[in-house]
Every structure is written in structure tokens, then in C-alpha cells.
Copies of this chain bind each other. A is one copy, B any other.
Amino acid sequence: MISAAPLAGIGELHPGDDLGSAVVAALAGQPVPTTITSDHVLVVAHKAVSKVEGRFRSLADVTPGPDARALAIAQGKDPRLVEIIFEESRGIVRAANGVIITETHHGFICANAGVDASNVRGDDVVLLLPRDPDASARALRARLGELTGAYPAVVITDSFGRAWRTGQCDVAIGVAGLRPLEDWRGASDSYGRELHATVIAVADQLAAVADLARRKDSQEPVVLVSGAERHVVSEDGPGVAPLIRAREHDLFR
């Protein structure tokens, strides 16, 4: 049994805020006050993390270069936004139909390098992904440990589009205290036959269940997931890296 409960009452977050304290206060303020344990997974929308880390950019501060201006015209975007997308990216994967897909410096392949203008105050301010989402996840996990004595797994998420399928799914962009993949290769299925190609993207499926548990307009960036304890580990673990397909094994870039 898996369950996912969004935490009401996190409230507006600002650069320098203590996200761990905000989570602990929200837990205490739930209709049924909740105690976090080291068996839980805390799934956090990256916007909450990016805000406390001050990852804002004002379009007014950006002078787009010629490449950004050209791509902005071709794809119908603000050239200042395209310049920021360039700054956040290792390279462009595709640009067509008004969509710019890049590889971020973290290695994520997503639209607009994850730069986001929704759920951000101010008309010309955009929010970037955390600089090092694994480090952000580890820091939040450590802070929760200081405050509560419990070390839940932490998954930081963003909503990504997919090749071939419409709609976005939330995926993990930062992980601490969790095995991000469950590898059944070499194990047996229920008939004792070897499962050849089964590696489950646990961290991404945790991101998905958290997203299902809230509404996009609810301002509930933190979701507490129970029932996933077999994936939770005591050390911080490898972070999100195992979820990123190496370029040489990727047939679609």
C-alpha cells in the first residue's frame, strides 16, 4: 500500500528561508498532526527549493546574444528567456514547433532547460532549477534529521514532457536517501524465469504519485509518501545520476 498526502500550509517561500523548518511546522499543523519517520519519502516540487535558494532571474537583467535572438524569432519566444535557457544548458537537443528542448548542465533533457515562469511572483521574473538538486536534497534531509531525529528520503521533482506521449509527468531531479532504481535483472519472475530487462524508475514513480496527490494551483509543494520504505536507505546514496541515460546508450538525441 502506497499513500501520498500533500502538506497544507507551507506558505510562500523566499530566498534564505529554512525549508526544513517550514516542513516540520506544516507537519505539526496538519488536521491530523503527522510525525515524519526515516521510512517516509518526502517529495518536494523543485520550485520550493529554487525559491529558498534564490534561483530567480529577472528578464530585465538579461542581454540576449545573437544566437538567442535568432532562436527566439524562430520559435516565437522572448529572446531574454532564450538567453537564460542557453546559460542553463550544455546544448540544444531539438528546437521546433515553438519548443526548445535542451540538455541542462545537470544532464536533464527537458523543455526550456527547466526555466519556469509559472508559480513565480513578478511578470518578468523566472525561476531556474536548483544548481545541484542532489545537494539540495541531501541538505534538506540533514536539516530534517537535525530538527526531528528522522531521516526520510528526499526526492526533488520537476514536471517534464516526454517523447511520443502528450502530457507531463513529474520526475526526480534530486535524490537523497533513496535507491532511485530498483533492479530486477537476474531476479526471477513469479514463474521462476529470469527478468531480463526490468529496472524500475522508482524515484520517478514517486515523483508521479506526489504530483497526483495535489492540484497544480494548490501551493502544496511538499508531499509525504508512505509505503515505499523498501526503497529508502540510511546513507544519502547516489542521487539522481543513475536515472540519467548516458549519451552513448541513448537512441534519441
Residues in chain B near residue A171, CB distance under 8 A: 165
Determine the residue in chain B with the shortest Cβ distance to A111: B197
Residue among B99, B121, B208, B244 making CB contact with A208, cutoff 8 Å: B208
Contacts of A165 in B (CB 8 A): 171, 201, 204, 243-245
A3 close to B (CB within 8 Å): yes
Q: Does A60 belong to the interface (CB within 8 Å)?
A: no
A1 contacts B213, CB within 8 Å? Answer: yes
Chain A 164-180: CB-based contact to B (< 8 A → 1; otherwise 0): 11111111000000001
Q: Find A97's partner among B5, B202, B249 (CB 8 Å cutoff).
A: B249
**Chain B residues within an 8 Å CB radius of A94:** 251-252
Q: Which residue of B lies closest to A97 (CB)?
A: B249
**Contact B198–A205 (Cβ < 8 Å):** no
- Which B residues touch A99, using CB under 8 A? 251
For A6, list chain B residues within 8 Å (CB): 1
A111: chain B residues at CB < 8 Å are 197
Indicate if the CB atoms of B251 and A166 lie closer than 8 Å.
Answer: no
Is the C-beta of A50 less than 8 angstroms from some C-beta in chain B? Answer: no
Chain B residues, CB < 8 A from A245: 163-166
**Interface-side segment among A17-25, A63-71, A214-222:** A214-222
Could you tell me if A187 and B217 are in contact, using CB atoms closer than 8 angstroms?
yes
Contact A243-B166, Cβ < 8 Å, known A94-B251, A96-B251: yes
Interface residues of A (CB under 8 A from B): 1-6, 94, 96-97, 99, 101, 108-109, 111, 117-121, 123, 159, 162-171, 180-182, 184, 187-191, 193-202, 204-206, 208-209, 211-213, 216-219, 227-228, 242-245, 249-253
Sample of 15 further A-B pairs with CB below 8 A, known A168-B201, A187-B217, A190-B217:
A117-B196, A159-B198, A164-B245, A165-B243, A166-B243, A167-B199, A168-B199, A169-B208, A184-B216, A188-B217, A190-B218, A205-B212, A206-B212, A213-B227, A252-B252
15 A-B pairs with C-beta separation under 8 A: A1-B3, A1-B213, A2-B209, A118-B194, A119-B189, A120-B191, A162-B163, A164-B253, A165-B171, A166-B244, A167-B180, A167-B181, A168-B198, A169-B204, A189-B217
